[in-house]
Each structure stands twice: as C-alpha cells, then as structure tokens.
Amino acid sequence: MFTAMQALSSSTQLQQIVQNCNFLKLISSSDQYPNSQGSGLPLIRVQTALCTAVIAFQGAQLLEFSTTHGQPLLWLSPNCNFTTAVALRGGVPICLPWFGPNAKDPKKPKHGFARNQTWQLNGATLLDDGSAELIFTLTSKANDLFEFNFSAELTMTLSNSAKLELSVTNTDVNAFDCSWALHSYHRVSSLADVRVKGLAGKKYADNLENRTEKLQTGDVNFPYEVDRAFPGVDNSLAIVGAPNITITHHNCPSVIVWNPGANATNIADIGAGNEQGYICVERGALLNDTWNLAAGETKSAWLKFEESKTS
C-alpha cells in the first residue's frame, strides 16, 4: 500500500525544500508519537535557536509549539487518531470553508473539510531575526461539499511566538460566504484555575443552549462544559494560568471558547479526564462575522500567541 508518508516523500519540491532547510526534518506520526492511534501521517519538525514545532501536512495543522526556554503552548490529545482524512484532535486545526455545522446541510462534516486535506508546503525560510517561516497552500475545486472553487494559504512564522496568517481566495466566477476559525487548543496545568481575560461585558451565543444570546460577566472560567461564540471582538485576549498566554490578531472578529467538561467521556479522541489539560480559545470569522468573497477576491487574517510572564 502506498502510504501518505510515501506519497508525500516522493514530492520533488518537498525534498528540495527540506534539503535546503537544516531547521526542518520530515518525520512520521509514529516517530513523534510512538503510542499514537491510526495508520500514520507525515509530519514536519521545526527546530531553530528560538523554538521547536511539529506540523501535520494534513490540514497544515500546527500540533506542537514551544520556545527554547518556554513551556509548550499547545495541547495534543493522547487519543489523537493519525489516519488520513480523520480530523486531528489538538494543536491548531483550520476550520474552513465553514465553522461548526454547515448552515445549509447539517449532514455535511462539521468544521468544513480543509483540516482533513493534505496541504502543500510551498516554501520555508529562516528569516534574519531567526524566525522560521513556512508557507502551506490548498487548492479546492467545486465539489459535493462546497460548490465553489477556492484556494487557501497559511503562513506560519515561528519564533518567540507563533503567528498564523490565513488567506482565502475566491477562484470561482460566483461570490460565496466563508466562515472559518483557527481552532487553537491551548495547554493548561489546571482547568479549575485557568481563566480567559478580555471578554467581560461581551455578548455571546451559547452553543449549549441553541445559540441563546447572553452577556459574559467577568473572565471566562471552566467549572463545567463551556461552548461560547463571541462576535465582533477586536481586542486581544489573555489566558491566565500556567502557562500565561497572550493572543493577538488582525481581522479575526469572532472568538470561540470551548471545553467539553465531563462530556469528554463521550468524545473518543479526547477521553475521560483529558479535558483537564486544555482549553480552546479560537479566533476566526463566523455567524454575523462570516466573510463574503466576491469572484477573484482575497481576504486575510492572522492570530499570534505567545507565552506571557505576567497575568
């Protein structure tokens, strides 16, 4: 059987990029996670003087990130299933070209399909300041899931912070709506003590109560399952805990905060008790913030997260 690893390794362009970049190494999920589930997927490891990271080609998904002298800032489920076309639980999945259930057809896969597709590494550079820049692309032709042509590009700039810039281009002759999110799973040492600052006084749709509109009082904490979508949030956010994390952005108007609480027992690739190790604080554009892309139009946005020494 011609595996995903063999298929990717046969790419001349990828071989040349890796050979020219001594900070990159092509590995497999079984190399990095010997006890992991699934048939295996190709990954790329980034190692510079400033940081280390692990990225899956499937979904162009950042799975791990830590600075040389800092703590890991992302969480990857111990029950993550590394199988082709199966969503990877943890890191920063790209939910695209829709977020959550499809508004027109709930039978379509939740969070779109970009996270289940193999993206192409088109370039990698070690910048003058020591940052590693990697550029991934995806081309999607009209299909049964999404009737429009589009392309997407994700630029990762990894240094003392992780910056992810997403660009979506409408390559179709018709306009379309596109909702999306960078679905970040951030590691926490104590779910009981962690809180998210920057959302007090903001309205949100409570996804646990059929998107009932509510008002956030104080910081967000996690005594039970939380699933909230905040529209129109321009300010930066902070995760206060261990580690402390600052999240900044450009053109990401929506915020999603999620942890399944005890419901993790019913989610096979999380599992009972593993919800204690993370919270999701995501940025994107959904609900009333959804992008409308005219034919030929490109829209871009970025988020950046980094460890903060102060709460």
Catalytic residue among 64, 111, 165, 183: 183
Question: Is residue 225 flagged as an active site residue?
Answer: no
In angstroms, the CA 208 to CA 165 distance is: 30
Q: 3-state class of 4 per DSSP?
A: helix
Residue matched to tokens 């009932």:
212
Exposed, middle or buried, 88 (CB in 10 Å: 0-12/13-18/19+)?
Answer: buried
Given a contact cutoff of 8 angstroms between Cβ atoms, the answer to whether 269 and 132 are in contact is no
In angstroms, the CA 52 to CA 48 distance is: 6
CA 120 to chain centre: 16
Given a contact cutoff of 8 angstroms between Cβ atoms, the answer to whether 274 and 150 are in contact is no
Catalytic residue among 64, 165, 275, 282: 282
Q: 3-state class of 12 per DSSP?
A: helix
Q: What six digits make up the tokens of 75?
A: 């969480």
Question: Residue 91 to residues 66, 73, 74: CA-CA distances in angstroms?
Answer: 12, 9, 5
In angstroms, the CA 270 to CA 156 distance is: 26
Q: What six digits make up the tokens of 49?
A: 């003087």
In angstroms, the CA 158 to CA 172 distance is: 32
Question: Is residue 282 flagged as an active site residue?
Answer: yes
Query: Could you give the residue numbers annotated as active site?
Result: 183, 282
